[in-house]
């Protein structure tokens, strides 16, 4: 076996050094009834070529996003990632190191985490960010739990514009922690009264920008009302690239930002691994979940980095920790940091503009298809259209025609017949004019 360095002679010598007659003696503590002599019923070892063949066969059964006109978003976005990103994150010193518990030999990881935290704080307009969480949805659930700790209240009001998967994750976490949620009905196009839902038990209001249907919303007034009533405003961002174009949550008065960072640096990966971004205000930092890298000096007075404020964390605080999280999303955070470094100020704003331009072109073209209506007044790179009939079968028919057209909202709300005609469409910089034309032509044909 190519990954196992011991030879049979080594094994014999080592057993002799140990004083064991056979390897079985080393498993003597396993109760007899639980010992298995034979092999489990699975295929035997394979060489690289054979493994590649089998996995490539499975991969070939999928339609890769890059092979067709592609308009799927809904919290995960296809963007071009510069070649340098994947090259750098595959350096073994990044790829195969552990959580930086020994800072003297982990300065590389700690420094990029410090850079990552700074970038996330700048992008969201917040004061401080952590070293990442699993993904945007779990970051959202952690934000709700944190708001409960900060305010010592236990109810969260969730906007109907929140991604339904984020809502579901919040519901799962809250149900088992014994906290309350007041989740509003899905609200394509806005028009919900969130301020009216706040009462003396409300720890936070959770909103999304752009919302799940792509509408860009101003939460400045809502933030003020939250603060007047002693609640926090949590702003979720599922398309982090939008922050290169629109007012960041920090400027609207957000207290916590929970975002999905996949769009910068990370592939679609059929849903994971992604990278949860989590930012807040300095005064709440000791209630924050997750790891934090901090600046310090070494014994010679040179600047260096360490994991810090770990008294919030499970390995020190055990059942009193702010979260049970241990492993986070380090390597995806590195990909985010390298990609954002490459983009720089100019590249980020231009990339955001390219996305918006592609979406504007797609929205205008699709709205010209007979029977199709644009729902949004505003949007960044994703919008909702209302079709003249249920969207799910239309999407299937378009897939048969080689166009991945977007997501029928009924996939999230199968019981809501009033949403059945809605289709979410995303257009990023990877979409060409020709892609839009093929989409519009195929849609015209399917709807005819």
Partner 1 sequence: MNDWSQALSHHPAAGGEAVATITGNRGLQIEEPLIFEQDSPGKCGVDLPEPPAFRSRLGGLERKGPVGLPGLSEPQIVRHYTRLSQKNYAIDSGLYPLGSCTMKHNPRLNEKMARLPGFADVHPLQPQSTVQGAIELIDTLAHWLKTLTGMPAVALSPAAGAHGELCGVMTIRAALTARGDPRSRILVPESAHGTNPATASACGYSVGSIPANKSGRVDLAALKAKLGPDVAALMLTNPNTCGLFENEILDIAEAVHQAGAFFYCDGANFNAIVGRVRPADLGIDALHINLHKTFSTPHGGGGPGSGPVVLAAELAPYAPLPWIVHGTDGFKLVEHAAGQADDAIGRLKGFHGQMGMFVRALTYMMSHGSDGLRQVAEDAVLNANYLRVRLADVLSLSFPGICMHEVLFDDRFLKDTGISTLDFAKALIDEGFHPMTMYFPLVVHGALLIEPTETESKASLDQFVAAVRGLVERVRAGDAVAFQAAPQFTPRRRLDETNAARKPILRWRPEPEQRQAAE
Nearest distance in Å: CB 290, partner 1: 10
Please tell me whether residue 436 binds partner 1 under the rule CB under 8 A: no
The 10 Å Cβ neighbour count of residue 236 is 31
Which lies closer to partner 1 via its Cβ, residue 229 or residue 276? Answer: 276
Collect all residues with Cβ–Cβ distance below 8 Å to 352 and sequence separation of at least 6. Answer: 241, 242, 243, 244, 245, 380
**What mask, x for binding partner 1 by CB under 8 A, covers residues 411 to 430?**
x--x--------------x-
Which lies closer to partner 1 via its Cβ, residue 84 or residue 229? Answer: 84
Binding test (CB under 8 A) with partner 1, winner from 191, 299, 370, 434: 299
Q: Which one of 180-188, 194-202, 222-230, 292-300 is the stretch in contact with partner 1 (CB under 8 A)?
A: 292-300
Q: Which one of 158-166, 191-199, 225-233, 439-447 is the stretch in contact with partner 1 (CB under 8 A)?
A: 158-166
Which lies closer to partner 1 via its Cβ, residue 184 or residue 323? Answer: 323
Alpha-carbon distance of 136 to 420, in angstroms, equals 26
Residue 95 φ/ψ, nearest 5 degrees: -65, -40
Binding test (CB under 8 A) with partner 1, winner from 23, 201, 283, 432: 23
Q: How many residues bind partner 1 (CB under 8 A)?
A: 212
Nearest distance in Å: CB 159, partner 1: 16
Binding test (CB under 8 A) with partner 1, winner from 19, 191, 196, 370: 19
Using alpha carbons only, give the angle 260, 184, 200 rounded to the nearest 5 degrees.
Answer: 100
Nearest distance in Å: CB 369, partner 1: 18
Q: Which sign, positive or negative, has the C-alpha torsion 42, 43, 44, 45?
A: negative
Binding test (CB under 8 A) with partner 1, winner from 187, 195, 225, 268: 268
| Relative orientation angle of helices 330-367 and 107-124, to the nearest 10 degrees | 30
Nearest distance in Å: CB 200, partner 1: 23
Alpha-carbon distance of 71 to 134, in angstroms, equals 25
Nearest distance in Å: CB 205, partner 1: 19
Residue 348 φ/ψ, nearest 5 degrees: -65, -50
Binding test (CB under 8 A) with partner 1, winner from 150, 292, 366, 442: 292
Which lies closer to partner 1 via its Cβ, residue 166 or residue 194? Answer: 166
Nearest distance in Å: CB 204, partner 1: 18
Binding test (CB under 8 A) with partner 1, winner from 21, 196, 270, 434: 270
Residue 171: both structure tokens together: 């519901």
Which lies closer to partner 1 via its Cβ, residue 274 or residue 439? Answer: 274
Please tell me whether residue 368 binds partner 1 under the rule CB under 8 A: no
What residues between 25 and 54 interact with partner 1 by CB under 8 A? 25-31, 33-36, 39-46, 48, 51-52, 54
Please tell me whether residue 283 binds partner 1 under the rule CB under 8 A: no
Which lies closer to partner 1 via its Cβ, residue 230 or residue 402? Answer: 402
Please tell me whether residue 440 binds partner 1 under the rule CB under 8 A: no
Nearest to 206 by CA among 179, 246, 245, 243: 179
Measured in whole angstroms, the distance separating CA 191 from the mean position of its chain's CA atoms is: 27
What single DSSP character describes residue 404?
A: B
Binding test (CB under 8 A) with partner 1, winner from 199, 221, 227, 326: 326
Binding test (CB under 8 A) with partner 1, winner from 180, 287, 308, 444: 308
Nearest to 328 by CA among 99, 97, 174, 86: 99
The 3-state DSSP class for residue 188 equals coil
The 10 Å Cβ neighbour count of residue 380 is 24
Q: Are 404 and 368 in contact (CB under 8 A)?
A: no
What residues between 65 and 124 interact with partner 1 by CB under 8 A? 65-67, 70, 72, 74-76, 78, 82, 84, 86-109, 111-112, 114-115, 117-119, 121-123
Which lies closer to partner 1 via its Cβ, residue 201 or residue 251? Answer: 251
The 3-state DSSP class for residue 207 equals strand
Tokens 């990966």 appear where? 269
The 10 Å Cβ neighbour count of residue 121 is 19
Please tell me whether residue 296 binds partner 1 under the rule CB under 8 A: yes
Please tell me whether residue 221 binds partner 1 under the rule CB under 8 A: no
Q: Which one of 152-160, 173-181, 200-208, 437-445 is the stretch in contact with partner 1 (CB under 8 A)?
A: 173-181
CA dihedral 281, 287, 288, 289 (to 10 degrees): -170
Residue 431: both structure tokens together: 């979409």
Alpha-carbon distance of 149 to 306, in angstroms, equals 26
Residue 118: both structure tokens together: 């700074």
Binding test (CB under 8 A) with partner 1, winner from 199, 227, 228, 378: 378
Nearest to 330 by CA among 106, 84, 18, 43: 106
**What mask, x for binding partner 1 by CB under 8 A, covers residues 191 to 210?**
--------------------
Nearest distance in Å: CB 171, partner 1: 6
Reduce the secondary structure of 323-372 to three states and give it as a string.
CCCCCCCHHHHHHHHHHHHHHHHHHHHHHHHHHHHHHHHHHHHHHCCCCC
């Amino acid at each position: 076996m190519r990954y196992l360095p011991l030879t049979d002679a080594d094994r014999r010598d080592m057993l002799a050094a140990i004083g064991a007659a056979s390897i079985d003696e080393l498993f003597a503590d396993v109760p007899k009834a639980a010992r298995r002599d034979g092999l489990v019923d699975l295929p035997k070892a394979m060489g690289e070529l054979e493994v590649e063949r089998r996995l490539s066969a499975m991969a070939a059964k999928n339609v890769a996003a890059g092979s067709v006109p592609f308009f799927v978003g809904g919290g995960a976005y296809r963007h071009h990632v510069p070649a340098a990103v994947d090259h750098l994150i595959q350096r073994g010193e990044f790829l195969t190191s552990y959580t930086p518990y020994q800072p003297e030999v982990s300065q590389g990881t700690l420094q990029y985490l410090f850079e990552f935290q700074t970038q996330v704080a700048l992008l969201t307009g917040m004061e401080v960010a952590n070293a990442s969480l699993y993904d945007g949805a779990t970051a959202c659930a952690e934000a709700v739990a944190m708001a409960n700790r900060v305010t010592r209240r236990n109810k969260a009001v969730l906007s109907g514009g929140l991604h339904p998967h984020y809502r579901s994750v919040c519901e799962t976490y809250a149900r088992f922690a014994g906290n309350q949620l007041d989740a509003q009905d899905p609200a394509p196009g806005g028009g919900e009264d969130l301020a009216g839902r706040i009462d003396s038990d409300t720890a936070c209001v959770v909103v999304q920008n752009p919302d799940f249907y792509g509408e860009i919303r101003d939460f400045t007034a809502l933030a003020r009302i939250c603060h007047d009533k002693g609640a926090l405003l949590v702003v979720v961002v599922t398309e982090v690239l939008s922050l290169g174009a629109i007012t960041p949550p920090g400027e609207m008065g957000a207290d916590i930002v929970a975002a999905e960072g996949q769009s910068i640096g990370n592939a679609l990966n059929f849903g994971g691994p992604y990278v949860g971004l989590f930012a807040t205000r300095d005064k709440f930092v000791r209630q924050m979940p997750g790891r934090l890298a901090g600046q310090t000096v070494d014994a010679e007075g040179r600047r260096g980095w360490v994991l810090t404020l770990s008294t919030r964390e499970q390995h020190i605080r055990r059942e009193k920790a702010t979260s049970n999280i241990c492993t986070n999303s380090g390597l995806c955070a590195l990909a985010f940091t390298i990609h954002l470094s490459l983009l720089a100020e100019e590249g980020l704003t231009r990339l955001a503009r390219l996305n918006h331009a592609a979406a504007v072109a797609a929205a205008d073209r699709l709205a010209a298809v007979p029977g199709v209506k644009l729902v949004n007044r505003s949007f960044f790179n994703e919008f909702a259209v209302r079709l003249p009939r249920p969207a799910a079968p239309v999407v299937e028919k378009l897939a048969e025609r080689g166009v991945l057209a977007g997501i029928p909202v009924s996939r999230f709300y199968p019981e809501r017949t009033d949403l059945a005609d809605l289709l979410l469409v995303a257009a990023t910089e990877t979409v060409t004019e020709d892609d839009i034309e093929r989409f519009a032509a195929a849609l015209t044909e399917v709807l005819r």
